[in-house]
Amino acid sequence: MTTARHSDVLILGGGSAGYTCALRASQLGLSVVLIESEKLGGTCLHRGCIPTKALLHAAEIADTTRTAHSFGIRARFDGVDMASLQAYTESVVTRLHTGLERLVASRKVTVVRGTGHYLGEHAVDVGGVAYTGDAVVLATGSAPRQVPGIPIDGRTLTSDQALQLSCIPDSAIVLGGGVVGVEFASLWTSLGTSVTIVESLPRLLAAEDTWASETLERALRRRGLTINTGTTITEAVQDNDNVTVRLDNGDALSAEVLLIAVGREPRSAELAAAGIAVDGGFVCVDDRLATNHAGVYAIGDLVAGYQLAHRGFAHGIFVAEQIAQRRPVPVAEHLIPRIAYCHPEVASVGLTESAAREQYRDITAMVYDLGGNGKSQILRTSGGVKVIRRGPADGEGAVVGIHCVGDRVGELIGEAQLIVGWEALPRDIRPFLHAHPTQNEALGEAMLALAGSPLHKH
């Protein structure tokens, strides 16, 4: 093995977390080598956030076209041109990827193309060449989690294969009611697929507030989805036409495809073999994201917590500043916004009601129904905004959680994050105007109600 280049920062993985760390480290005057086996941008840009949200936008257009007559517009939904749909999705990905490549090059980050293997001792092997760094950042990301006994083959897919389908399936079984599962179930339903969700936990989006989960489930059932919660698949058999699964209650279901959407697992096996401490597949880190190897950090999906691109961005920036001795503030997990881009959307930040009740002696929760929001009525979406604050109903306390359900409510999460992050009191928000008519007003109305002066709340 030959030794190639030594740098201030050596990063293994060019996904959301890795390339962000590279950009910030370079900005701070550090020399950076970034190793990536595929394309810069990783899962989020090429097989996750961006292509799935492009498909979800196309699905929204399909739904709008179907109901255009109810708005006085003459239009007709004639089906899906899959080649054109994939070309549109790929065009979005390509533009963003091209821009990212140029950005990384402009920051004088050295990109090494190839599969890297962490060796320990601040060294990474790429094709027999060892790269070393004063600091090493592990950002190898995650992969779709598989289910023992159900091989990924033929009509059984992960989200990676689902993005490459040449046609929209007539029917689909989605195993998993988390974010990936409900997003694919939603977009396929919009494009004409008959979808059944099978989830082993008692409710969809089990990490979200119970109110949000139940509101979403009612909305999806109204759209025609079949939902089986508290149910597991014990067997899956496929033939030339269908996949047949057997459930633990004895029932059997058949569909054209089976999507395995049971979450993602960190790519950490090689890291563990090299001596990096791992627990449950996730790399063990301290509050500064440092591993058990001195000067070696882990970021993004490798670290237990929300597997979200923007969390990876925050981790990358934090570690770059930590290496540059800027004393950054650790990423606050409870302030990371979460959005499921299904129809309707679910967006949240902060504590759920059950988590708040465990943490505080008294809490007060308020739901403002979107039925009273003008813009939501224009959009013909239902749902609501739930705000949770500390303290009894006749007192006042800081807002600790905000949860939204409805089309386009993901756009509300920026203000919601500021409110929770600044530990604002509802009366602090009360004087701020919310433009009319916007869905943003719903958040303002909920704050008015919690401040004791409800305006449009019945």
Residue 194 CA, chain-centre distance (Å), reads: 24
Give every CB contact of residue 410 below 8 A, 6+ residues apart in sequence.
339, 341, 345, 347, 404
CB-count burial class (<10 Å; 0-12, 13-18, 19+) for 198 = buried
| Coil, helix or strand at residue 363 | strand
Look at the block and give the residue holding tokens 């936990």: 201
Contact criterion met (CB below 8 Å) for 443 and 348: no
List the helix and strand counts (H, then E) for the chain.
14, 24
C-alpha–C-alpha distance, residues 226 and 231, integer Å: 13
C-alpha triplet 286, 287, 293: angle, nearest 5°: 30
CA distances from 367 to 215, 350, 410, 431 (A): 12, 16, 17, 20
Select from 116, 95, 110 the least CA-distant residue to 36: 116
Q: Where are the alpha helices (DSSP H) in 178-268?
A: 179-190, 210-222
Contact criterion met (CB below 8 Å) for 259 and 177: no
* Residues annotated as catalytic (active site), given as ranges: 436
Contact criterion met (CB below 8 Å) for 332 and 306: no
Contact criterion met (CB below 8 Å) for 379 and 211: no
**DSSP, res 290:** B
Look at the block and give the residue holding tokens 């840009």: 45
The answer to whether the peptide bond before residue 344 is cis (omega within 30 degrees of 0) is yes
